[in-house]
Amino acid sequence: MTFDKRTTAADVVSRIKDGMTIGIGGWGPRRKPMTLVRELLRSPVKDLTIVAYGGPDVGMLLAAGKVKKVIYGFVSLDAIPLEPYFRKAREAGGFEVLELDEGMLQWGLKAAALRLPFLPTRVGLGTDVFVQGKFKTVTSPYDDGEVMLAMPAIPLDMALLHVHRADRIGNIQALGPDTYYDEWFAKAAKEVAVSAEEVVERMDHAYPEDVKANIFERCFVQHVVEAPLGAHPTSMPPSYGWDMKAFKAYGATAGEEGGWAKYMAETIGPDEAHYLAQMGGADAVSKLPLPIF
């Protein structure tokens, strides 16, 4: 029996329905599945709950009116500390939030991945995060009797991830030093869509030397989308860096009357070919230098 999980971004987004909970992998302005996010922006889907270590994905979806609730550890562009459209939407209100410590978000995804209702943790105790999130505690049944925060599971209807390589049966390779929690987004979700810089027939034949970069098993992946430069304007180390010029231009529109509508029409546009052309073309994007921290 053979399996072929290759599909298109449009087909993936057609499976996302109003009101779903969508986890978006990556980390701030790094490794975001922006080809999939832009396709979602072009769709009529709304009332989503977005779970993320947020970057431009969260800001853009808020600006486009797609979001009912955001569950997040942060929403940042790093060099621009607070994502501009997230800031604008947060100050205006109008959507629900669950603000979490970064570790709490990880623990919530892990609980969902393990099919548990919660996981105990010390993270968040004694903070306003505990109070504002209306969390509960659990007492250890052992001799220590320690009281810990009971971090509830964060199950996802779908996770969207971007990796360097994938094959037709769903094997992936995520390179670079900061893959962080994409594994837990994948395992916490009912359905996983992976976009990749490159899609090959068989990973074990094409890149056997990088087998350790397969950070989660193919059984968790249902959809594979080939999306070269699909993380732009976020970075995809070691392949290309973030596009700070593009981030600044995008951020500036948050302060303009009708700024989002203009950005959506002129920059995002009807398809990825249009978007990439606005960014200077594939050659320019592929040469973006990696940031140095």
Q: Give the pLDDT score at 2.
A: 58
SS (H, E, C) the chain: CCCCCEECHHHHHHCCCCCCEEEECCECCECCCHHHHHHHHCCCCCCEEEEEEECHHHHHHHHCCCEEEEEEEEECECCECCCHHHHHHHHHCCCEEEECCHHHHHHHHHHHHCCCCEEEECCCCCCHHHHHCCCEEEECCCCCCCEEEEEECCCEEEEEEEEEEEECCCCEECCCCCCCCHHHHHHHEEEEEEEEEEEECCHHHHCHHHHHHCCCCHHHCCEEEECCCCCCCCEECCCECCCHHHHHHHHHHCCCCCHHHHHHHHHHCCCHHHHHHHCCCHHHHHCCCCCCC
How many whole angstroms separate alpha carbon 235 and alpha carbon 27? 10
For 4-38, the pLDDT digits (tens) are 999 999 999 999 999 999 999 999 999 999 999 99
Torsion angle, alpha carbons of 80, 82, 84, 85, to 10: 150
Q: Which residues pair with 98 in a beta bridge?
A: 71
Q: What are phi and psi of 262, to 5 degrees?
A: -65, -45
How many whole angstroms separate alpha carbon 178 and alpha carbon 156? 22
Find out whether 48 and 61 touch, Cβ atoms under 8 Å. Answer: yes
Tokens of residue 274, six digits: 């249009």
Which residues in the chain land under pLDDT 70? Answer: 1-2
Q: Give the pLDDT score at 1.
A: 46
Q: Give the pLDDT score at 81.
A: 96
How many whole angstroms separate alpha carbon 284 and alpha carbon 119? 45
How many whole angstroms separate alpha carbon 55 and alpha carbon 86? 9
How many whole angstroms separate alpha carbon 34 and alpha carbon 257? 25
Find out whether 178 and 27 touch, Cβ atoms under 8 Å. Answer: yes
Q: Give the pLDDT score at 3.
A: 86
Q: Give the pLDDT score at 180.
A: 86
How many whole angstroms separate alpha carbon 63 and alpha carbon 205? 43
> Is the pTM here over 0.95, yes or no?
yes
How many whole angstroms separate alpha carbon 98 and alpha carbon 221? 27
Listed residue (47, 96, 41) closest to 67, CA to CA: 47
